[in-house]
Structure 1
Amino acid sequence: MKKLLLLSLMSLLSVTPAMSATEKVIGATVGDFAELSRESLKPLLEKKGFKIRVVEFTDYVQPNIALAEGSLDLNIFQHKPYLDQFAKEKGLELTPVAQVPTAPLGIYPGKLKQLSEVKNGSTVAMPNDPTNLARALLILADLKWIELPAKFDPFKIAPKDIVKNPKNIKIVQLEAAQIPRATQDVDFAIINGNYVVSSGMSLTSKLMAEKSDAYVNWAVVRTKDLNSDFAKAVKEALNSKEFQTYAKNKFKGYKYPSSWK
């Protein structure tokens, strides 16, 4: 009996730190990021011994505040330019740990169905908020439909900065969420991936996606926890073959982390 009790005690003492850790809370925005957190990341981390709870958010402010204040251990919803600006403005010490598949900004057909059909005076709907407007203009520049200055801030470029517009492209600025409904009224539409998905459109119907990887979203932790066992486990899980297989089957048409290439 004493030998049995001793063996039981030794077994308890041999449990790894991760197995005895307190619950870890992941915050993600409603939709694809909450889905990948719950469906794949959570079970992968639980296999490593962590107890995981996923909390959903509907805004882009509270997930960072909650993470900084300690009610979250990880959040998934933002690209690095947004994180950098938000953390600077709020004085938060947050650091990205691994990228996640992200629905890209892309140009979609409207009244015209192929990029080759562009004509003089074609109309292009695009988001009116400064960051996404700048991203949309870069797509037009990549298509050679407009020319931008040799030197410019890629996060702040605006229509007034266009150097040449040989096709006389007419830019129609709209609220990002409204653009999917405007496709019947313009020749082409540049739409954020999340609004493509939420509107019932297919990401695979895009004619071209933005080239930059700067807007692929990240899983983020508190800077002080960057080298923690949990952060390391998250990075390993999000780059694992198992997660990649899940993501490529689940999120077709998305931009994938550069580390997967």
Structure 2
Amino acid sequence: MKKTLLGLVLILVIGLLAACGGSDNEDSSSNGEGEATKDIKIGATPGPYSDMTTKALIPGLEEKGYTVEVVEFSDYIQPNNALNQGDIDANLFQHTIYLENFEVENEMDLTALTTVPTAPMGIYSNVYNSIDEIEDGATIAVPNDPTNGARAYNTLQDEGLIVIDENADELKVSEQNIVENPKNLEFQPIEAGQLPRAVESADLSTVPGNFALAADMDLLDAIALEDMDDSYRNVVAVTAENEDSQLAKDILEVVESDAFEQVIDEEFEGFGKPAWMTE
């Protein structure tokens, strides 16, 4: 009798343990097929790249079993600090040049995983409706920081308004590198964040895409849009340590998918596509 009771108790205990184990496995499942939940955080700044993360990137990652939280940052410093510290798993807000400079200045090892479609700089005007209408001596507001300033002058050259010294570094072009200015444009360097307002005070204003969108400007209202170098396109960044991780591979697969490009075409009109997407 004692042996029978002992046997029943052992069976009951084993059954309970098995039930607990099964419950734990179900709780850790992300899709009902036994795969563990993959909870990740992606950092972004408020605006188009937070929207791009939400609308174009997250749906594809969710299909791969990830649960994704977007963490928004109000400046361009904390997203990389958080990535470096492991508080987030990736971020989308910066271009390659900014990332590389930030790494050096802050002794970090981060990696640009892939470039994504990016809002280009535009030449905006309330005075002229086309480049051909621009008159001699027109005033034009340009960014006073080196990176955006170089973009502005390169864009003006692309539109035939100035000629830049062919020996100048394309990424470091400034007003001093202008060798021809046939329309005698008068340049007004100001902070990039003020360039949307400068459309009211100057004949023309070269406005970086992120500042244009923040000011509710329509990219397609520009009389010319920048033919952007890929160095200025925003990137999805991860730590160098995770460059070859499964998450990195999955992000690449999502960004390179037809579904991602379709969302870009439908939701982000005027955004310039990187070279890999147009080849």
Return the TM-score normalized by structure 2: 0.85
Which residue identity is paired with 1:199?
A: A
- Relative to structure 1, the CA distance from residue 18 to residue 186 in structure 2 (aligned partners, 3 Å threshold; closer, same or farther) is farther
1:100·1:219 contact (CA, 8 Å) conserved in 2? yes
Which residue identity is paired with 2:155?
A: I
Which residue identity is paired with 2:106?
A: K
1:228 equivalent among 219, 228, 245:
245
2:235 equivalent among 218, 224, 244:
218
Matched, 1:55 2:77: no
Whole-angstrom CA distance in 1 between matches of 2:35 and 2:189: 52
1:134·1:155 contact (CA, 8 Å) conserved in 2? yes
Write the mapping of 1:1-261 to structure 2, written as runs, cut at 5 A: 12=25, 19-211=35-227, 212-261=229-278
Deviation sequence 1:58-77 (CA, Å, 0-9, x none): 11111111101111110000
Deviation sequence 1:107-164 (CA, Å, 0-9, x none): 1223122100122111111111111011101111112222211211222221122222
- Relative to structure 1, the CA distance from residue 45 to residue 151 in structure 2 (aligned partners, 3 Å threshold; closer, same or farther) is same
The Cα of 1:21 is off from its aligned counterpart by 4.8
Identity %: 36
Which residue identity is paired with 1:237?
A: V
- Relative to structure 1, the CA distance from residue 61 to residue 141 in structure 2 (aligned partners, 3 Å threshold; closer, same or farther) is same
Deviation sequence 1:158-208 (CA, Å, 0-9, x none): 112222222211001122121212213222211011121121211111122
**Over aligned residue pairs, what C-alpha RMSD do you find?**
2.5
1:18·1:48 contact (CA, 8 Å) conserved in 2? no
Q: List gaps (5 residues or longer) in structure 1.
A: none
Which residue identity is paired with 1:208?
A: A
- Relative to structure 1, the CA distance from residue 22 to residue 245 in structure 2 (aligned partners, 3 Å threshold; closer, same or farther) is closer
1:105·1:190 contact (CA, 8 Å) conserved in 2? yes
After TM superposition, the runs of 4+ consecutive aligned structure 1 residues lying more than 4 A away are: 15-18
Whole-angstrom CA distance in 2 between matches of 1:254 and 1:40: 14
Whole-angstrom CA distance in 1 between matches of 2:143 and 2:171: 14
Which deviates more, 217-226 or 176-185?
A: 176-185
The Cα of 1:18 is off from its aligned counterpart by 10
Which residue identity is paired with 2:249?
A: K
Whole-angstrom CA distance in 1 between matches of 2:35 and 2:147: 42
1:110·1:189 contact (CA, 8 Å) conserved in 2? no
Return the TM-score normalized by structure 1: 0.90
SS of 2:66 mapped into structure 1: coil
Whole-angstrom CA distance in 1 between matches of 2:34 and 2:57: 16
The Cα of 1:251 is off from its aligned counterpart by 0.5
